[in-house]
Structure 1
Amino acid sequence: MTRASHDQIPEAALAWHQSGTGAALATVIETWGSAPRQAGSQLAISGTGEMVGSVSGGCVEGAVITEALDSLADRRSRVLTFGVSDETAFAAGLACGGTIRVLVEPVGEGAEALPEAMLADLVAARAAPRALAVVTSPATWTRRLVAPGEDPAVDARFKSDRSGMEEDGRFIAIHNPPLRLIVVGAVHIAQPLLAMARLCGYAPSLIDPRAAFGSAARFPGETILDDWPDAALARLQPDARTAIVTLTHDPKLDDPAIRQALSSPAFYLGCLGSTRTHARRLERLADAGFTPDQLSRIHAPVGLDIGARTPAEIAVAILAEITETLRK
């Protein structure tokens, strides 16, 4: 699964460090009020002031970059606090309200620094991809990498996909594999939907056995499976971090995919088609033995009702509904 370039923040820090430019990694560890970025959000800063990512949506990045460059000079980590009552925060631009605490760590040598080997192991896990957490104790600057099954507190955060501080003072930064979006039907809507999903951090896959539809020319750079949809879904093994959307509204293609999806733990299943089309779909699925509770998982007609008309607008509506299902 290839992550979007704007999400390759530890990767950027490691590359800058290994190139000799130097790098620091800034991570939001706590927030209160209307702070714009959640705990775990990261910003990589090079020794020349380049940056990838963000910790506040632009409010305090300038101050964080200054501290990051200082950390590269003194090889010491630090925790910064910016709040609405803090003159430094106002000077940095935190006028949107709220309070954030940011951990800044130089990469490489130094008793308080983030070791290169640890960052490299994290980057390798993200590329695999496999879940991994970085557990940091700011009081002592001790750090360790934790995999699923090694620590109940970390496991709880893997499950909720939320980084944060523990009562014992440890900060747990969660690095789960990317969310996945599986789209059945290489129709026009799928083109903007896959692009938008990637920008939102999903690793998309496209399924269509029709060569004229699912071609690399129409979907350059995308993962395209030309198997029958149920066989393709069985290969992809959707999990609880997977959304599935069917777009062909052809029962011969959609129904096998829907049956496979309903037997999976996917967190979202949306199906294109009118209310009348969906009613007939439900009848077929009920005849196949699916229960009302199972059928209630289907979002159809797919997407939030925002009056979307064009393929791109429909893609926005679909991704909005996926986001609403995931976050609420």
Structure 2
Amino acid sequence: MANQLDKLLGHWLPQRDAQQWVLATIINTEGSSYRKAGAMMMINDLGQYFGMLSGGCLESDIMRQARRCWDNAQNRIVKYDMREEEDLAWQLGIGCGGMVEILLQPVSQANDYLHLHTLYGLLQNNQAGTYVQRIDQAKPYNQLSEALTQDALKNSGIQQIDNERYFSQTIRSAYFLAIFGAGVDARPVVAMAAALGWQVLLLDPRSGYAREGYFNDAQHIIRQPFEELSQARWLQQIDAALVLTHNIKLDAQALSLLQHSAASYVGLLGPLHRTERVLAHARLSKQHLHYPLANPVGLRLGGELPESIALSMVSEVHAFLEKTDAQSISRIVKP
């Protein structure tokens, strides 16, 4: 199950009045933890939960604690500390060795669903918002602002205002990846990106490509010629693109189209000498591209099967968007 917030809210929204619900949010961590501050999970009175706040070791106790929110319609704050031998976390067998503090909040019509329905609408429209939760064990008081300011981005996390604690974070929609080329080798790329909870747009104007049943994980499939798409709204919404058509002319058209996009990463499949031909066909030069071009695309992971190549490409996109160096955490891997 994807853990992206828009997916969790998509499960909740149709059933928001059919069951009792609790929003669980990690508001603070110290030391090692499975997920960091800002991670969320939705829980209902049928014993179902959507999303994860740990590797599975905390969820059953979080659900037990959540029931108290339904009893008094108030928040509850729980803390699990693996550093303290007397803490419940030791009994639960948590292996991360850190502390996790979680805010549990009842979600109901009486508290305007904590503005989660409005937040879901923003995410569905590829917009972002600043979500603020008051940290106490009284009735919930949450705020949502659609105006993103530098102060809001800078002040994410726990803040103290007039003797009250608040947790603030900027919430944006899942990453949006456009994949140009719907051949067989694009199937694992689409599947992996979708498994990460990303929005996936697949484009290929050729008949016989993007075949029905082969790309069920893609949210959108476009079969129009690329040169007809320069005014498409999604161009200003995508975060990254992969160009995999295996066709010089189509690759060139894709790179030209992406000149009008908001993509901060574009990956092109193929060796450097082929890229020169693609750019020449598009009448473009690397110096005049409006985006950084990753070519050859992907991380050096080894393997030659489509699944290995897909993993290499999606991993590089992930590392770029998350602004990480894609190095081994343990440094055990050596060339």
What is the TM-score when the length of structure 1 is the normalising length?
0.84
**Cα deviation digits, residues 102-121 of structure 1 (max 9, x gap):** 110111277xxx53272332
Q: CA deviation at 1:273?
A: 0.8
The CA distance in 2 between the partners of 1:221 and 1:95, in whole Å, is 33
The amino acid of 1:9's aligned partner reads: L
Pick closer, same or farther for the CA change 1:132–1:273 going to 2, 3 Å: same
Q: CA deviation at 1:173?
A: 3.8
Residue of structure 2 equivalent to 1:94: 94
Pick closer, same or farther for the CA change 1:233–1:91 going to 2, 3 Å: farther
Residue of structure 1 equivalent to 2:158: 165
Q: CA deviation at 1:199?
A: 1.3
Pick closer, same or farther for the CA change 1:236–1:304 going to 2, 3 Å: farther
Q: CA deviation at 1:81?
A: 1.8
The CA distance in 2 between the partners of 1:78 and 1:215, in whole Å, is 49
**Cα deviation digits, residues 297-319 of structure 1 (max 9, x gap):** 21112211212311122111111
The CA distance in 1 between the partners of 2:104 and 2:166, in whole Å, is 15
Q: CA deviation at 1:136?
A: 1.3
Q: Does 1:185 align with 2:184?
A: no
The amino acid of 2:178's aligned partner reads: I
- SS at 1:120 equivalent: helix
Residue of structure 2 aligned with 1:76, choices 69, 74, 83: 74
Residue of structure 2 equivalent to 1:207: 203
Alignment RMSD, CA only?
2.8
- SS at 1:144 equivalent: strand
**Cα deviation digits, residues 134-179 of structure 1 (max 9, x gap):** 2112147422111024x5433557xxxxx63235432124331221
- SS at 1:122 equivalent: helix
Q: CA deviation at 1:294?
A: 3.8
Residue of structure 2 equivalent to 1:248: 245
- The number of residue pairs the alignment matches comes to 314
Q: Which runs of 5+ in 1 are unaligned?
A: 158-162
The CA distance in 2 between the partners of 1:275 and 1:66, in whole Å, is 57
Alpha-carbon contact 1:303-1:317 (below 8 Å) kept: yes
- SS at 1:303 equivalent: coil
Residue of structure 1 equivalent to 2:56: 58
Residues 141-290 of structure 1 correspond to what in structure 2 (within 5 A)? 141-149=140-148, 151-155=149-153, 164-166=157-159, 168=161, 169-220=165-216, 222=218, 223-232=220-229, 234-239=231-236, 242-281=239-278, 288-290=283-285
The CA distance in 1 between the partners of 2:180 and 2:230, in whole Å, is 9
- SS at 2:17 equivalent: helix
The amino acid of 1:166's aligned partner reads: Q
The amino acid of 1:165's aligned partner reads: I
Residue of structure 2 equivalent to 1:322: 317
- SS at 2:235 equivalent: coil
The amino acid of 1:203's aligned partner reads: Q
The CA distance in 2 between the partners of 1:5 and 1:155, in whole Å, is 22
Q: CA deviation at 1:229?
A: 2.3
Alpha-carbon contact 2:25-2:38 (below 8 Å) kept: yes
The CA distance in 2 between the partners of 1:236 and 1:300, in whole Å, is 26
The CA distance in 2 between the partners of 1:37 and 1:90, in whole Å, is 18
Q: CA deviation at 1:283?
A: 5.5
Pick closer, same or farther for the CA change 1:203–1:54 going to 2, 3 Å: same
- SS at 1:39 equivalent: coil
The amino acid of 2:158's aligned partner reads: M
Greater shift after overlay, 135-144 or 78-87?
A: 135-144
Residue of structure 2 equivalent to 1:302: 297
Alpha-carbon contact 1:146-1:154 (below 8 Å) kept: no
What is the TM-score when the length of structure 2 is the normalising length?
0.83
Identity of aligned residues (%): 25
The CA distance in 2 between the partners of 1:280 and 1:43, in whole Å, is 48
Pick closer, same or farther for the CA change 1:232–1:62 going to 2, 3 Å: same
